[in-house]
Amino acid sequence: MSRLDRRSFLAAGAALLAKPALGAGPAASDVDVVIIGAGAAGIAAARRVAAAKQRFVMLEAADHAGGRCVTDTRTFGVPFDRGAHWIHQPDANPLLKPAAPAGIDIYPAPRGQSVRVGPRNARDAELENFLSSLVRSHRAIADAARAKTDVAAAALPRDLGDWQGAIEFILGPYGCGKDLKGVSAMDLARAAERDADAFCRQGYGALLARLAADLPVRLSTPVTRIAWDRSLEVETAKGRLSPRAIIVTVSTNVLSAEKIEFSPALSKRQLDAAAKLALGSFDHIALDMPGNPLGLQRDDLVFEQAAGARTAALLANMSGTSLHLVDVAGSFGRELAAKGEAAMIDFAGDWLATLFGSGVKRAIKRGHATRWNEEPWVLGAMSAAAPGSVDARKVLMEPLGGRIWFAGEAVHETQWGTVGGAWESGTRAAEAALRRIGALKEPDEDRPARRSRERPRRRRGEDD
């Protein structure tokens, strides 16, 4: 089977079992920080606040924690990541520092992918043509990002031929949940390298759960109102809290839907920023296919030479199990998900049949599909800036009234769309909040440098 080297390819191109803690934690008058949302950003913020020995309350609207990174072990009896699954840049991923928790098995993702041309594997010459087209497409997006005006990332070469559909899918829907015409070229060009990946045998959500195991979280407690005119107040159906600082980690779609009332209201500038960072669509269609009927390797990633937008990606034999994930995304994925789970499973079976033969449909024993656009406290998959909105992330990074901070994958300029980016954003927001309440000293680099009577020494190599 001809395969593409993953590094070259990309360089070119569960439920959290936290204790409910209802009524637990500090009293309303004893809270330093309220953290809204118990996804990766909220968990990271809570860990940082806890390390500073400050009193906090963590509120989660859903009946489980984990946000968009949750492992389900009930549906198929094996770990199934309902959301995030790929651990990008494992050597630098903050969830793996200093090391993965005991009992968590992290292993490198295979370095190769397969490409199908109809019912067969792509030949070597076809793969070379595809890779060349992918390199040129990356270059075209980078060139577009250097323009004075932020344009759509859809400015691809016009001679991609039969590979255009695959490249548009890989760079757009599969990469960021949106079609390229709805993505900022500058935002896409700023994204950090994701040329190395790993998987967690127990599930990415299980890893996140272990990192949150000792944190109290109040589940099924949606925040209805945040007052910040004079003193801070967080209102829920179960009571009110009066903290000294607030960290909000809800998704941009939840902000845009104004599911939380802010008093005073968020400015038009902030609401516009959230809208410009609207979540794309990305769903997993999980199929239990025992016996490896597709004849693929463990964690084998497969794309096709697509004729249009009705395409998907396949991750076969996930972590050595009989689960196969068919991923649908972008506008087509959104339309398909809106038709319901049955329609999604039917599509997955039909799509696999075109690539591996009609007999594979009989090998499907069970199926299940996520529908993140319908999750009421998420409303989508990952953020991607619209054309002309490259600075929207900076706007959401600004503190509200100097006492409220937004955090999450959408509030990270280079690692947006990743669990690691959400984690770093939560840590960063927590440190800002801790400095605001006097629980953390300002960084040394923020302090004025002392004057010295000594003449500065010339560093070796300077001005040579």
- d(CA 312, CA 347) in angstroms, rounded, equals 10
Please tell me whether the peptide bond between 98 and the residue prior to it is cis, using omega within 30 degrees of 0: yes
> What average pLDDT does range 183-193 have in this prediction?
94
**Which position has the token pair 């099924």?**
220
Between vectors from CA 321 to CA 317 and to CA 326, what angle results, nearest 5°? 40
The ranges assigned to domains in the chain are 12-70+203-278+382-437
Here the tokens at position 7 are 């590094």
Per residue in 256-281, pLDDT (tens digit) is 999 999 999 999 999 999 999 999 99
Cα torsion angle, 286, 291, 296, 299, sign: positive
What is the rounded CA–CA span in Å between residue 75 and residue 389?
39
> 441 or 151: which carries more pLDDT confidence?
151
Of all residues in the chain, the percent with pLDDT exceeding 70 is 89
Beta-carbon count within 10 A of 159 CB: 9
Among 64, 73, 22, 72, CA closest to 43: 64
Q: How many whole angstroms separate alpha carbon 236 and alpha carbon 391?
A: 32
Residue 396, phi then psi, degrees to nearest 5: -70, -15
What is the predicted pLDDT for the residue at 193? 84
Report, as an integer, the average pLDDT of 382-410: 96
Strand runs (DSSP E) across 68-153, as ranges? Answer: 71-72, 80-81, 87-88, 106-108, 112-117, 120-121
Token pair 């980690």 in the structure block, residue: 249
**Which secondary-structure segment (H or E) carries 160?**
none
Token readout for 422 is 């959400």
- 358-392 pLDDT, tens per residue? 999 999 999 999 999 999 999 999 999 999 999 99
| The predicted structure's pLDDT at residue 194 | 83
Fold observed for domain 12-70+203-278+382-437? FAD/NAD(P)-binding domain (3.50.50)
* Local structure of residue 184 (DSSP, 8 states): B
What is the reported pLDDT for 111? 83
Residue of 112 and 77 predicted with greater confidence? 77
Alpha carbon separation from 275 to 252, 328, 379 (Å, rounded): 7, 23, 13
Lowest mean pLDDT among 130-134, 174-178, 361-365, 450-454: 450-454
SS (H, E, C) 12-59: HCCCECCCCCCCCCCCHHHCCEEEECCCHHHHHHHHHHHHCCCCEEEE
Range list of H helices, 146-179: 164-171, 173-176
For residue 299, the model assigns a pLDDT of 97
Task: Determine the Cα–Cα distance for residues 442 and 395; give it in Å rounded to an integer.
Answer: 22
Residue 172 has pLDDT above 70, yes or no: yes
Give tens-digit pLDDT for 433-448.
Answer: 999 999 998 765 444 4
